[in-house]
C-alpha cells in the first residue's frame, strides 16, 4: 500500500497517540523545530501562517528535535512552555522525535524519501526543514531551513484552492 501522511501516528507532547488521518482534507506543514537555534525566530512567521490560513483548512505540526547541535535539550513540557511563552505558538507542537538515523521517526523516513533534498540527499540538514503536504496527504514540497515561512504563502494558497 502506498503511504501518505494519513498512514502514520505520532505522539503529542503529553505522550498521547495522534492519528495523522485526523488531518485528512487539510494542507499540513511539518517542521522540525528547536528552541535554541538561529532559525528559532521562524516560530513568529510559522504562527502568522497558521493564524492566516487555519480557518481555510491549514495546520502546522511542529516536531522538536535535539539532533542538531543539541539545540532542543528541554523536556516536552519545557518545549511547550517555551513555545507558548516566548512565541505564543498556537499550532500543535508534538513530542520530541529524531528525524535522522536509525531512530528516525517513521513519519520522517517517509517525508525524506518522498521529497529528497538538494542532490537527492534524504537526510534532514538542520532545524526548521519544512515539508508541505497536500489535502490528499502527499508531500507537495520540501523547503530548506533558511526558507522563511512567509515564502510559503503562495504554495499554501495553491493547495487550499485545490
Identify the CATH number of the domain in which residue 9 sits.
3.40.30.10
Beta carbons of 89 and 43 less than 8 angstroms apart:
yes
Out of 5, 20, 34, 37, the active site residue is 37
**What is the count of structural domains for the chain?**
1
What is the pLDDT of the chain when averaged over all its residues? 95
Region 3-16: mean pLDDT is 95
Whole-Å CA distances, 69 to 4, 14, 19, 35, 148? 30, 24, 30, 11, 21
Per-residue pLDDT at 154: 97
Whether this prediction's pTM lies above 0.85 is answered by yes
- Rounded Cα–Cα distance for residues 54 and 153 (Å): 12
Per-residue pLDDT at 100: 97
Q: Is the pLDDT of residue 56 over 80?
A: yes
138 Cβ neighbours under 8 A, 6+ residues apart? 4, 5, 114
Region 80-95: mean pLDDT is 96
Region 15-39: mean pLDDT is 97
Q: Is there a catalytic annotation at residue 37? A: yes
Query: In the chain, pLDDT over 70 holds for what percent of residues?
Result: 99
Per-residue pLDDT at 2: 67
HEC-encoded secondary structure of 83-134: HHHHHCCCCCEECCCCCCCCCCCHHHHHHHHHCCCHHHCCCCCCCCCEEEEC
Domain that holds residue 64: 5-161
Amino acid at each position: 500500500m502506498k503511504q501518505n501522511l494519513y498512514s502514520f501516528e505520532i505522539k503529542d507532547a503529553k505522550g498521547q497517540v495522534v492519528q495523522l488521518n485526523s488531518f485528512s482534507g487539510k494542507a499540513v506543514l511539518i517542521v522540525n523545530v528547536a528552541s535554541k537555534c538561529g532559525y528559532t525566530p521562524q516560530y513568529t512567521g510559522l504562527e502568522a501562517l497558521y493564524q492566516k490560513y487555519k480557518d481555510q483548512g491549514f495546520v502546522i505540526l511542529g516536531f522538536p528535535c535535539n539532533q542538531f547541535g543539541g539545540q532542543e535539550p528541554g523536556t516536552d513540557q519545557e518545549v511547550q512552555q517555551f513555545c507558548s511563552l516566548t512565541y505564543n505558538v498556537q499550532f500543535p507542537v508534538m513530542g520530541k522525535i529524531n528525524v535522522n538515523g536509525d531512530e528516525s521517526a517513521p513519519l520522517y523516513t517517509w517525508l525524506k524519501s518522498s521529497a529528497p533534498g538538494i542532490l537527492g540527499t534524504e537526510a534532514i540538514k538542520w532545524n526548521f526543514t519544512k515539508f508541505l503536504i497536500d489535502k490528499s496527504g502527499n508531500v507537495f514540497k520540501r523547503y530548506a531551513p533558511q526558507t522563511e515561512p512567509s515564502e510559503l504563502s503562495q504554495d499554501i494558497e495553491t493547495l487550499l484552492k485545490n
